[in-house]
Each structure stands twice: as C-alpha cells, then as structure tokens.
Amino acid sequence: MCPGAPFLIDGTADAIAFRQQSVAVACAAAVSGLPPADLTVLIAGSGHPATGAPGWRWLSPGTRIDTAPLRRSDLPDHDALRLSGGGATGAPEPVDAPSVGTMVGAFLLAHCRQAAPGTETVAVEVAGDPAAAAGAIADRLNSTQRIAVLVIADGSACHGDAAPGRGDDRADAFDATLARALGSGDPAALRAATADRELARELMATVDPLAVLAGLTASRAPDAAELLYSAAPLGVGYLVASWGWAPS
C-alpha cells in the first residue's frame, strides 16, 4: 500500500517531494518489493462520486494513464504511462479522467518496479461498495496466476489546522487504527478500520481501496506484514505497508 500523494509524480510538486523524501523512499521500497507476477492489480479510489452501480471502473492492460493534469505546465511534454500488457500497440486514447490515485499508482509501477515481460497490469477505481468491488475483482482473477496488488489509499486529511480538511481530533486515532491493522497483517482488523465510511468521508480519508484489500484477503491473511511509513507531514495521513504471501 502507498499513499496517493501527487508529489510522488515527478514534476508535480518537486519542492514538496524534496522535503518528503522519506515517503518516496518507503513507496519505492514497497513497490520494488512486489513479487514477480503474471497479473498486477492496481486498486485506487475513484475521482468521481459513487453512482450506485457498478461502483467501480476496470481499466484493462494497455490503458494509457496521462499524468499531465497534475504536472507543471511549463515542463516538456512526456509520454503517458501505460498499464503493462494487453498487446497494445500505437497510441490509444488515454482513459477519461483517471483518479489521482490511479495516476500515482501507475507512475510508481512504471518507475519503481521492474516488471517481467508478459506481466499484465489492470487498474480498478473504487467508487461504491468496496465489498462488491472486491467480489468483482476476485471473480475476474485466475487462481493459477501469480497476483501482485498495489493499493493506493490515504488516511485522514485533517491532522492540524493547516491540513486540507483542517484539524479534527479524531484523525490521529483513525489513522493509528489503520496503521495497526496494516502492520499486523490482519484483514479482519483492516475491514473494521475501514468500515465507517461516513467517518472516513468526514476525515477526508480515501480508504475504500483498503476495504477492497481486506475483502480480497479475508480468507487468507498474509504470511508477512510490515508497516514501512506512518506519519502526517502535510496534515494528511500517509501510510506505506507491505503484505506478502508464501507460494501455496
């Protein structure tokens, strides 16, 4: 898991990135540590409000993810990112309005991980019922494939008066609960930590992707878990964690 901090994308907020290198280092460690996989699943929040059904958007291998909306306009043009695989050739149109989390996740995968040839990547943007989204993802996975998952999520954005959501006394406890669940590798605890979606909304936390992770791993907890980073240097709770499973 990594945060959806825009400064993680080069050319977005380089001055902030320079001051927050510990976040970038932890994210690089988490993403580079993803195991070899036939399929990588990027799970992020949606940039659009939930509309009922289906509550998620599936981006197939080969989809172009353009980060230009986040990058400084005075920088030279750059190649859009592409979700690996799919046999895509040429330059297909970029997906309509990818979320910031999808942009950050695609950038981290492209720049921090050496994916083996033939690896495919899909992205799922969650905008509705996380349990339903987890079920839809599970239905599409092949049990014979090696799967890696990158979750992009954020804790509360209400840590202090200078935070995007201003200060809220509940923010510290909310993020501490998330951190404990991630560090312990406990899907049930993670499910409980993300269950109050109204509280998460009030605290401006993007935790639906973590609820999806809890659903996907409910039947088998990770064999190893590590919390790599947990702090709110800009008033936003950034958490970086790694879960791993031994081959079955």
Q: Quick one: which H or E segment has residue 109?
A: helix 100-112
- CATH class of the 6-244 domain in this structure: alpha beta
Q: What pLDDT shows up at residue 66? A: 85
Listed by start position, the domains of the chain span: 6-244
On whether the CB atoms of residues 154 and 4 are closer than 8 A, the answer is yes
Q: What pLDDT shows up at residue 70? A: 77
Amino acid symbol at 223: D
Q: Structure pTM? A: 0.92
What is the residue whose two structure tokens read 């790599």? 228
Give the CA-trace dihedral at 32, 38, 41, 42, to 10 degrees.
40
Q: What are phi and psi of 175, to 5 degrees?
A: -70, -35
Instruction: Tell me how far apart the alpha carbons of residues 1 and 227 are, in angstroms, rounded to a whole number.
Output: 9
DSSP codes joined into one string, 1-35 = -B---GGGSTTTSHHHHHHTHHHHHHHHHHHHTPP
User: In a structure prediction context, what are the per-residue pLDDT tens digits for the chain, which is 248 residues long?
Assistant: 999 999 999 888 889 999 999 999 999 999 999 999 999 999 999 876 554 456 788 999 989 998 877 776 666 556 668 898 876 444 555 567 889 999 999 999 999 998 777 789 999 999 888 998 999 899 988 777 899 999 999 999 999 998 999 899 999 999 999 999 999 999 999 999 999 999 999 999 999 999 999 999 999 999 999 999 999 999 999 999 999 999 87
Q: What pLDDT shows up at residue 92? A: 52
